[in-house]
């Protein structure tokens, strides 16, 4: 009998705690809601469970009694960031051939979860994972969505689709041998449940194969993300209607050729097709020489989160000599092309998305995303509100989840970050996000 009473007491207490913990109020900060209009001063955001219940201001929106109040005074409050180009299967190690041989057994349980967790702690609540082994990608995505792992919400492509896998990469790169083979592989990915298709080297496929892949993807409701490294990749991608281009090119050619620009303008004029999206991934290249000469940031231990000491040591020794990495030798010649090409794309009416190639040598998931915003704003002169929307509103729209995330709007998931100071004036404040809430749960 006494036990029963105790049980009810506990039950009631827990119930009360739950009710209180269920309602949060972010009070006082300047809200950038993701739509692009002037920020809302002295904002109040009510969060109930996983979702945003109401948005208003101090004085117009009352904070209900019992709500868990989090002061955002002095802070910028904004939607959780998106990074539209990450590689959770890599963690900054400089030697891909070695990594691909050594770490496949750890990808699902260690490497990919660590990447997703690091992204989240950096304020990245959603990310597009562009290329990885199929089962592992799906398992990590689903475990995060079920709340079993802390991490950014992932949207995954599974394996790269390309002409032929590079030797030793067959586990996460699928070659296409003929149109029918292409269709079959896309159907397999669709049935497995990937979120979109990642296409690379499409200039090496036959047009028949390329058309089949994109058609089959679209038939199955999957968008196609394609590399835009080489002019011919862009030409072909535009011809078959891919849905987003990545990167700005590996060569040192100073700008996009005029015929390519003509095709891009032709495409952006067709509003019935929606905007033309492009994820230029510039920061890793743009900042290479800076990091090479100022490697202190590589010692920041934010990228150790979730990784065993042995893996940390392994990554660290691989980047001990940033100046010697083959990956970056041409980068100084490419650097000046980045600003020119970004300008060309913007002038042609392309909508840019924030993405970073996070995971490539020396580029850690804990640091990449804010650097991309910083380069856009402080080096290329892009409006900070444009940059923030390229990391919030537009990515959610592209992904087809704009009803659920991407802005701070009642009814949507509470994916919200806050940072001390004014991010519209000093966008690099995003390197140290003070508050991270994903689906209503506070992680930082």
Among the listed ranges 72-80, 332-340, 350-358, 374-382, the one in contact with Zn ion (CB under 5 A) is: 350-358
Work out how close the CB of 85 gets to Zn ion at its nearest, in angstroms, rounded to a whole number.
5
Integer Cα distance of 46 and 58 in angstroms = 12
Work out how close the CB of 130 gets to Zn ion at its nearest, in angstroms, rounded to a whole number.
5
Residue 286 CB coordination number (10 Å): 23
Work out how close the CB of 80 gets to Zn ion at its nearest, in angstroms, rounded to a whole number.
21
Integer Cα distance of 441 and 413 in angstroms = 10
Site for Zn ion in 185-244 (CB under 5 A): none
Work out how close the CB of 100 gets to Zn ion at its nearest, in angstroms, rounded to a whole number.
14
Three-state DSSP class for residue 254: coil
Q: Which is nearer to Zn ion, 243 or 415 (CB)?
A: 243
Q: Which is nearer to Zn ion, 94 or 179 (CB)?
A: 94
H/E element, 205: none
Three-state DSSP class for residue 126: strand
Work out how close the CB of 244 gets to Zn ion at its nearest, in angstroms, rounded to a whole number.
12
Work out how close the CB of 224 gets to Zn ion at its nearest, in angstroms, rounded to a whole number.
15
Among the listed ranges 2-10, 17-25, 262-270, 353-361, the one in contact with Zn ion (CB under 5 A) is: 353-361
- The encoded tokens of residue 19 equal 């009710």
H/E element, 277: strand 277-279
Among the listed ranges 116-124, 144-152, 349-357, 402-410, the one in contact with Zn ion (CB under 5 A) is: 349-357
Angstrom CA distances, 222 to 154, 187, 213, 218, stand at: 15, 10, 11, 5
- The encoded tokens of residue 251 equal 């060569």
Work out how close the CB of 398 gets to Zn ion at its nearest, in angstroms, rounded to a whole number.
16
Residue 188 CB coordination number (10 Å): 14
Number of H helices, E strands in the chain: 15, 19
Q: Which is nearer to Zn ion, 160 or 303 (CB)?
A: 160
Integer Cα distance of 316 and 310 in angstroms = 10
Three-state DSSP class for residue 278: strand
Q: Which is nearer to Zn ion, 283 or 357 (CB)?
A: 357
Q: Which positions from 308 to 347 touch Zn ion by CB under 5 A, shown as an x/- string?
A: ----------------------------------------
Q: Which is nearer to Zn ion, 357 or 372 (CB)?
A: 357
Give the strands of the sheet with 277-279, arranged side by side. Answer: 173-175, 160-162, 196-199, 223-227, 244-246, 277-279, 351-352
Exactly one of 100, 136, 201, 357 binds Zn ion (CB under 5 A); which one? 357
In Å, the largest CA–CA distance within the chain is 84
Integer Cα distance of 46 and 227 in angstroms = 41
Q: Which is nearer to Zn ion, 106 or 130 (CB)?
A: 130
CA 300 to chain centre: 21
Among the listed ranges 7-15, 93-101, 213-221, 352-360, the one in contact with Zn ion (CB under 5 A) is: 352-360
Q: Which is nearer to Zn ion, 49 or 165 (CB)?
A: 165
Work out how close the CB of 366 gets to Zn ion at its nearest, in angstroms, rounded to a whole number.
17
Work out how close the CB of 431 gets to Zn ion at its nearest, in angstroms, rounded to a whole number.
22
CB contact at 8 A, 399 and 391: no
Q: Which is nearer to Zn ion, 314 or 357 (CB)?
A: 357
Site for Zn ion in 360-389 (CB under 5 A): none
Beta bridge partners of 413: 51
DSSP per residue, 383-413: -HHHHHHTTTHHHHHHHT-TTTSSS--TTSB
Three-state DSSP class for residue 101: helix
Residue number of the CB atom closest to Zn ion: 357
Q: Which is nearer to Zn ion, 33 or 357 (CB)?
A: 357
How many residues interact with Zn ion (rule CB under 5 A)? 1
Work out how close the CB of 199 gets to Zn ion at its nearest, in angstroms, rounded to a whole number.
12
Q: Which positions from 89 to 118 touch Zn ion by CB under 5 A, shown as an x/- string?
A: ------------------------------
Q: Which is nearer to Zn ion, 195 or 357 (CB)?
A: 357
Q: Which positions from 157 to 176 touch Zn ion by CB under 5 A, shown as an x/- string?
A: --------------------
Cα dihedral 82, 87, 92, 95, rounded to 10, equals -160
Q: Which is nearer to Zn ion, 100 or 357 (CB)?
A: 357
Work out how close the CB of 217 gets to Zn ion at its nearest, in angstroms, rounded to a whole number.
19
Q: Rule CB under 5 A: which residues touch Zn ion? A: 357
């Amino acid at each position: 009998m006494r036990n029963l009473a105790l049980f009810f007491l506990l039950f009631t207490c827990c119930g009360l705690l739950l009710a209180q913990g269920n309602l949060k109020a972010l009070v006082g900060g300047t809200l950038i809601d993701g739509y692009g209009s002037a920020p809302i001063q002295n904002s109040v955001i009510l969060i109930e469970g996983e979702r945003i219940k109401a948005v208003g201001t101090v004085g117009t929106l009352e904070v209900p009694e019992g709500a868990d109040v989090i002061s955002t005074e002095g802070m910028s409050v904004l939607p959780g960031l998106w990074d539209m180009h990450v590689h959770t299967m890599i963690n900054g190690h400089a030697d891909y051939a070695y990594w691909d041989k050594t770490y496949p057994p750890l990808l699902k349980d260690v490497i990919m979860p660590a990447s997703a967790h690091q992204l989240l702690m950096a304020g990245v609540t959603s990310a597009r994972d562009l290329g990885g082994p199929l089962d592992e990608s799906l398992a990590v995505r689903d475990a995060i969505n079920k709340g079993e792992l802390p991490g950014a919400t992932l949207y995954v492509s599974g394996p790269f689709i390309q002409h032929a896998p590079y030797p030793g990469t067959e586990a996460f790169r699928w070659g296409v041998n003929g149109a029918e083979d292409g269709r079959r592989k896309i159907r397999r990915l669709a049935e497995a449940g990937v979120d979109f298709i990642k296409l690379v080297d499409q200039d090496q496929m036959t047009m028949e194969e390329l058309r089949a892949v994109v058609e089959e993807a679209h038939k199955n409701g999957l968008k196609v993300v394609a590399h835009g490294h080489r002019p011919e990749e862009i030409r072909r991608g535009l011809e078959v209607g891919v849905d987003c281009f990545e990167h700005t090119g590996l060569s040192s050619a100073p700008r996009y050729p005029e015929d390519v620009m003509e095709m891009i303008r032709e495409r952006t004029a067709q509003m019935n097709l929606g905007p033309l999206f492009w994820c230029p991934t510039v920061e890793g290249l743009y900042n290479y020489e800076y990091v090479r000469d100022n490697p202190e940031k590589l010692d920041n231990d934010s990228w150790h989160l979730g990784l065993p000491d042995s893996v940390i040591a392994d990554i660290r020794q691989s980047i001990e000599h940033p100046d010697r990495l083959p990956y970056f030798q041409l980068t100084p010649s490419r650097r000046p092309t980045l600003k020119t090409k970004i300008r060309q794309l913007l002038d042609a009416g392309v909508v840019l998305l924030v993405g970073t190639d996070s995971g490539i040598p020396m580029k850690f998931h804990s640091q990449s995303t804010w650097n991309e915003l910083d380069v856009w704003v402080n080096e290329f002169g892009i409006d900070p509100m444009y940059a923030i929307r390229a990391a919030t509103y537009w990515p959610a729209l592209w992904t087809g989840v704009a009803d659920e995330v991407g802005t701070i709007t009642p009814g949507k998931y509470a994916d919200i970050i806050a940072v001390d100071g004014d991010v519209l004036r000093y966008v690099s404040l995003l390197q140290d996000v003070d508050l991270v809430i994903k689906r209503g749960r506070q992680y930082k």
